[in-house]
Structure 1
């Protein structure tokens, strides 16, 4: 926004040569650059060559009157910012309203008082310059937004690159992920820790933007690299260690929810712990056992130094399937202005459990979510993990 200011030019439009000459002399004496134009297209032609700061135009002129000239100026993007002053002997409110509706910015009553003329012009120059600064600022903000959008898109691509590919074999797992425009804090993974322990988890950082993504990405990197100083087969101990290393005070008040589970095929045992995360859904595709919502009892990671996390375990029956998700799936506006809730989502998942284990089960669930929300856009990242455990 630094640099030399644009020269101040004033365009006079008047078919009275004597009156126009008097105004020209008075304004030129103040050091302004003055351009005198005849009414009609001549004024527009000269203005296009040198866009004026202020236009002083008589209302009553032969041919193209002042209102016509004003409309023409305000219709051209390159000229519309000029401060347009109409000279008029009319004093009725209706006339002033008509002039304002045509785009006039100010009025000067005829006969023109010299001091009022100069004051009105100075005022117009200030307003024009303020408007130009605002336009420049708006342009800079737009460019910054474009850069930020690009950075967020690159960050979203990076998050996608960290996420796991589908896994087949003794445990089959796949996922869906969609970042919101501002990028949230979702991150997840699933992998074999050894031949008999399969890890899966989903983390969701609070807030939006890059700062929200950093904590969950850090968790992802520590777990994937196995650098966390704890037995990754113990969900409660994992959350306890993460909570110790992620105090809110060191992360700009950020915290994260996390559901962490370990499945052992040899014993058909699923162990899990939750740090304030929505409950995972366990069901049987063969109806061998009733469905379960696996809630866990822990607080979100980073909230309290003295938070504790316990590991819960259960044996899974034949055809066991597990669904882990983030709250971006149900915190979506619904028709009527209400927000979706966790109980609504849980009910929908239970209704869809017969198809969830199908190859397109996750896509069919997402389709149902969009249907009940009236296809409202998601306002947060959403993530889904589906694992067929036996």
Structure 2
């Protein structure tokens, strides 16, 4: 981007990111550092979201959140960062709106658009540059290993620690992975992740719970060293008090910590005055929950990573004999046409939701602070 601006001092540029915080917290500091290292003057106007480069043109900084607002200026080139974070339809709309901005004329220099992104399934980037490539487009797929010298020494190991094995191809090698109509819990193997563990007298029980009137679910875990084992399940309980009744009947002497659906703080499955979380606390259970449920993608990745991470280590296990519905759900639940886990009666989401809440709480995906950028 800057090289083109220095070669063409009248050229303006457009930088697009999924959200404004990414521009404010990552893009601005990075380009400030880069220009400072070059000893080149600049001025960042955070009110207008522009960067004026001394002796060159201007960089317009915009988000992709509202494609209809990508208007009112002309640029020579545009840079779209992490395009595949968006839904496919929205990403294509951003692409079209951006293309309409790339009409600044500089003698001898064609207008160009650049996309840098981690593949997120067969979405917009795949459609635009791989399946049916746009005329004149060029796709470059790079491995993180090729850029390892610019990254912290533990960056790749952290990726392998934090992401499930099935996504390492996408996040390290830049390969398009089909996330539609494939198993949601792709790293779960009925044999490799099978457990023979049962509840023991001294165990503290970790209970994942999903609230649904008439089909409430709970998954009971125990810890064994570094590993976590699903050892029991409750299925189709009528409501939260019914789930509590079953837990107390089965485990009257055990300490119980519940990791429920965060919406239970406002959800009232029994009456209009008492929330599900309040009912659990009144029952004497410890309740661990975030203010809101984690992003579905992060919850799925956290659980898949525990089933098998990028180092091929398995730390999450399910006793198929005592948790038959959970085991079946982990095998059979697939992604829908929108790239989300299938939901609804008979779609297994109740059991997998209950089973994944404790894992996402206790072993969340750690977001790397390292951001790779092409300037």
Q: Shorter-normalised TM-score: what interval? A: under 0.3
TM-score between the two structures when normalised by the length of structure 2: 0.20
Please state which structure has a larger fraction of its residues in strand: 1
- Structure with higher Rg: it is 1
